[in-house]
Amino acid sequence: MGERSSHPAGSGTGELILGGQRSGKSRCAESRAADWLALPGRSAVLLATALAGDDEMHSRIARHRHDRAARGPGLETDEVPRELAAAVRRHSEPGRMVLVDCLSLWLTNLRMPLHGEAVADAELDRHVGGLCDALQSARGPVVLVSNEIGLGLSPLGAEARRFVDDLGRLHQSVAAQCARVTLLVAGIEVPVKRAAR
């Protein structure tokens, strides 16, 4: 993936929510959706990117579904492991919030899939560019969740190092399209970017 996004900085209604494992980022995003749904005439959809490759992941996904149903009644779900840009375009409309959870699992599905071949650099660029275009042309708010994994030591394996690099560049590209970027630390929201009004 290229070092820089070719897409201009966005000033729309998108928000990227980053955080480590169990930082509260999904709960934060669901809270955004619940606030949105509290007003009449609004709808929201979750684009879930997770794939269950083992029993633990099956349990994790089931727990997330249960928690979402309790915290965000009225939030629809569409499972989108790979074609995320098309799903954002399909669902985005005025009065409808699109919630993406999460970008790091989406990237995993592209670069380290459970089945089939990993996408090459050029194909990854196409996916990321398509997502940025979809965010730029979104007709309603989009909230994206992702894991921030680049704050520790560099991994020993080449594949893991490439993934960390890819995710960091993906975050930069998506953040450029979003009016807001928020970092979750121990359940606390830390504003990183707030577009001028």
Would you say residue 63 has pLDDT above 90?
no
What's the token pair of residue 90?
A: 């399909």
In a domain, 6, yes or no: no
Instruction: Show the domain range for 152.
Output: 15-194
When the pLDDT of each residue in the chain is averaged and rounded to a whole number, the result is 88
Residues 62-94 as b/e (b if ≥16 CB within 10 A, e otherwise) read eebeeebeeebeebeeeebbeebbebbbebbee
Tell me the CATH number at 144: 3.40.50.300
In a domain, 165, yes or no: yes
In a domain, 172, yes or no: yes
Check residue 156 and give its pLDDT: 82
Least confident of 61-65, 77-81, 101-105, 162-166: 61-65
Check residue 10 and give its pLDDT: 43
Number of domains in the chain: 1
In a domain, 7, yes or no: no
Check residue 8 and give its pLDDT: 40
User: What pTM was computed for the model?
Assistant: 0.87
> Are 152 and 107 contacting, i.e. CB atoms less than 8 angstroms apart?
no
- Burial (CB count within 10 angstroms: exposed 0-12, middle 13-18, buried 19+), residue 167: buried
In a domain, 3, yes or no: no
Using CA atoms, how far apart are residues 67 and 85, in angstroms rounded to an integer? 26
Would you say residue 98 has pLDDT above 80?
yes
What confidence tens digit (pLDDT) does each residue in 9-51 have? 444 689 999 999 999 999 999 999 999 999 999 999 999 998 7
Would you say residue 64 has pLDDT above 70?
no
Please state whether beta strands 15-19 and 43-48 pair in parallel, antiparallel, or not at all (unpaired). Answer: unpaired
Would you say residue 196 has pLDDT above 80?
no
Give the ranges where the chain is alpha helix by DSSP (H). 25-37, 55-71, 84-91, 103-111, 121-136, 158-177
What number of other Cβ atoms are within 10 A of residue 7's Cβ? 17
In a domain, 4, yes or no: no
Write the Ramachandran bin of 173: left for phi over 0, alpha for psi from -120 to 50, otherwise beta: alpha
Catalytic positions, written as ranges: 64
In a domain, 8, yes or no: no
Would you say residue 153 has pLDDT above 90?
no
Distances (CA, A) of 3 to 6, 58, 93, 141, 152: 10, 35, 31, 27, 20
In a domain, 9, yes or no: no
Check residue 60 and give its pLDDT: 62
Q: What is the dihedral of CA 83, 88, 144, 167, to 10 degrees?
A: 30
Check residue 154 and give its pLDDT: 81
